[in-house]
Chain A
Amino acid sequence: MAKDTEHCAASSSGDDVTHGLVDQRVDDSGTRRTFLKVAAAAAATAATEGCGIGAPTGEEFLRQHYKTLTPDDKKRIFALIEDEVRGRSGVTIHMNDPAPIDGVEFAYALNLSVCNGSRRCVEACARENNLPDDPEIRYIRVLEMEKGSLEFEEATPYYDREKVPAEGKFYMPVQCHQCDNPPCVKACPVQATWKEPDGIVVVDYSWCIGCRFCVVACPYFARRFNFVEASIPPDRINPTQGYLSNRARHKGVVEKCTFCLHRTRTGRLPACLEACPTGARKFGNLNDPNSDIRKIIESKRVYVLKEELATLPRFYYFFG
């Protein structure tokens, strides 16, 4: 680090720093059947809360696939979602849809030498991504591993200790690896999940039919199904919500870690990284040779989980 980049200052969360990366995604097709639009709008005005079996509103029922939404559609849908959340919980949220940044491909690295199994990442992720506590949904699973073994059968996520790390153990957090050859995307019968240009595998929660084939296909146990209509206490709702990341999910759909794309596509670091007390987590742009992540991949002995499956994860582990 050069002398000119270091400067003593009080800690700043970075929130106040202005940045020019927020950008509304512009649709590439622009074509769309007008009658559906009209029908959706008409249905939306007549939308009710369904008839007790959790039926979707008319707008939701007819909502198109994310990739066919025009900027106008998005504006309309975001307003409807904001209204819906305000009506249900009284919380004013800000729906947004930051676009992938040109030339940026995200990757993650995790230092197993320093991870101490504190699960701070797990809970920070839950708060950031509006994950429910009952029944619990968590994107990150921290495995307590036996030293001398990388075999998951010898590991457990159910450790409950006074202090970690425990003698003779090490800890391996596992979350979505944002594979470049994602078996989950191949499995989806309706293209409700896909890989974005910046490497993040996303789910259109309004398109997913809930068949759970992607859950079956994932070798990293990274996908979660909504077994009930989740409810988050209003004071725990994170109001900054991305359409493809942490917005409210309804029951019957699958969700997953998105590397906090509503944060990372606006330049910030993922919530799990910032919550890590040991600094075990590193994130950045794979295309930038000066990024932390590139330096790790080039200078450390990194490895990926289940390499033999050729899933090409974007999540590297290393001992450093």
Chain B
Amino acid sequence: MLPLFRFVTSSLRSMLRGGRSYYIWIAFLLAWIALGGAAYLHQLRVGFVATNLVDHVPWGAYIANFTYLVGMAAGAVMLVIPAYVYHDHALHDVVVLGELLAVAVLTMCLMFVMVDIGRPDRIWHFIRFNWPVSMLTWDVIVLNGYLALNAYITGYILFTKFCGRTPERKKYVPFVFLAIGWAVSIHTVTAFLYSGMGARPHWNAAILAPRFLASAFAAGPSLMIIALTIVRDKMGFPLKDEALNRLRQIVAVTMLINLFFFFSEIFTELYSFKHHAASMRYLLFGLHGHTTLVPYIWSAVALDVFAAIVFTTKALYRRPAVLHAGCAAAIVGVWVEKGMGLVIPGFVPSPLGEVVDYIPSFTEFCVSAGIWATGALIYTLLLKAAVPIELGTSRLEPEAAS
């Protein structure tokens, strides 16, 4: 147990070590977390009246963020596939950082589910799983499983490196391959949550799961490019340009596929122009004078197109600033398009034809921001602990090992 104890204490020490800007960043995140916590307590006290959700629009910002973040977590697998399936050594070095991202993001996912539940005190009622018919049950199972898998893989690799040993392949590679399949499954199941709803024609489409995966594999690696650049510049991680270039290639393809899927869906809905297209009309053009989502979705499309252009044009992606702008565009564009841009139109019009607009309330905004800050804090701390181990500067003292 002693090495494990040392592993933990050493990691905690790494987390506390940092310059002035590091502490400002941590304080900034903690402030948001405190605000989010206060907002959540308010929501607990008064009930969901603190949100802008109504019976017509029973899910909003929380579930939109949840959906997006499940994709983010699945997107981390895009590092793993080339590294382990195709033995791409450039990506091998950064796989652990990608899986740590998955851990942080999954924590956010579970937090978004928790804050969306009207009775969090009854979470233990999951002992009566409605399996296998409820997609939400599936989702809870696969998300927790994926979290456990990633925590195990990263924990094992980092711990053995901390002890100065080489990770044994047979102790983690099978789990890596399991995680690859699992990553696809978490986002598929999340898509099925929506596409299984016969009552909601906007979601009831087979393209949803492929579209979810395509957008996830665009947004996830985009975030990784930014995160890895920061790790390289701020923490001195020896990152090969080849690794970033590989990620850039992935986004170039997935973003184009994502745009194609989205276009296919728009065409199918609008060309036939049946009543079921009302949600799509609401999203793109507004319905009965309700145009809440129109500016958002067109901004998202613009951002997605911009990202696709950047990632495929050499003159643009060569410049780091433009590449990072493209990454940000992909991250935000997919966030809008797959978050609010997918969840809300499913509720408009309501099953009885009512058009009710939804914009998150201040409470929902604060709670969501708090959860994002929590995720950022977790990822920051995990990187802070993991990078020195990867670099070999944090090692188990020889006397402790013996």
Contacts and interface: CB of A to CB of B under 8 A. Distances in A.
Direct contact of A and B (CB under 8 A): yes
Given A56-B121, A213-B136, A229-B47, A190 B126 contact: yes
Nearest to A172: B352
Contacts of A189: 126, 129-130, 134, 136-137, 140
Contacts of A157: 352, 354
A15 interface: no
Contact of A209 (B45, B117, B347): B117
B122 A183 contact: no
Give the residue among A189, A220, A224 with the most B Cβ atoms within 10 A: A189
A309 to B, nearest CB: 5
Contact of B275 (A52, A151, A183, A190): A151
B49 A228 contact: yes
B46 interface: yes
B224 to A, nearest CB: 31
Contacts of A252: 47-48, 117-119
Interface residues of B, number: 48
A112 B116 CA distance: 39
B229 interface: no
B55 A223 contact: yes
A225 B58 contact: yes
Contact residue range for chain A? Answer: 35 or more
Interface stretch (B5-13, B175-183, B195-203, B367-375): B195-203
B44 interface: yes
A218 B56 CA distance: 11
Interface string B104-124: 000000000100111111110
A223 B137 CA distance: 20
A155 interface: yes
Contacts of A310: 198
A54 B44 contact: yes
A53 B352 CA distance: 34
Contacts of B137: 189-190
Contacts of B134: 186-189, 213
Looking at chain A's contact residues, the main secondary structure is: loop
A135 B122 CA distance: 24
B20 interface: no
A140 to B, nearest CB: 11
A229 B119 CA distance: 12
Nearest to B199: A219
A221 B54 CA distance: 12
Contacts of B122: 61, 190, 207-210
Contacts of B145: none
Interface string A250-265: 0111100000000000
B326 to A, nearest CB: 34
B133 interface: yes
Contacts of B228: none
Contacts of B118: 208-212, 225-226, 251-254
Contacts of A154: 353
Interface string B330-374: 000000000000000011011111100000000000000000000
Given A210-B48, A228-B46, 9 more contacts: A54-B45, A54-B47, A61-B122, A151-B275, A156-B354, A186-B130, A190-B126, A209-B125, A309-B199
Interface of A: 52-56, 61, 65, 135, 141, 143, 151-157, 174, 183, 186-192, 207-213, 215-221, 223-229, 251-254, 306, 309-311
Q: Which 8 pairs of residues, A with B, have the shortest CB-CB distance?
A: A210-B118, A252-B118, A152-B353, A219-B199, A189-B136, A251-B47, A212-B58, A215-B58
Interface of B: 41, 44-49, 53-56, 58-59, 113, 116-123, 125-126, 128-130, 133-137, 140, 193, 197-200, 275, 278, 346-347, 349-354
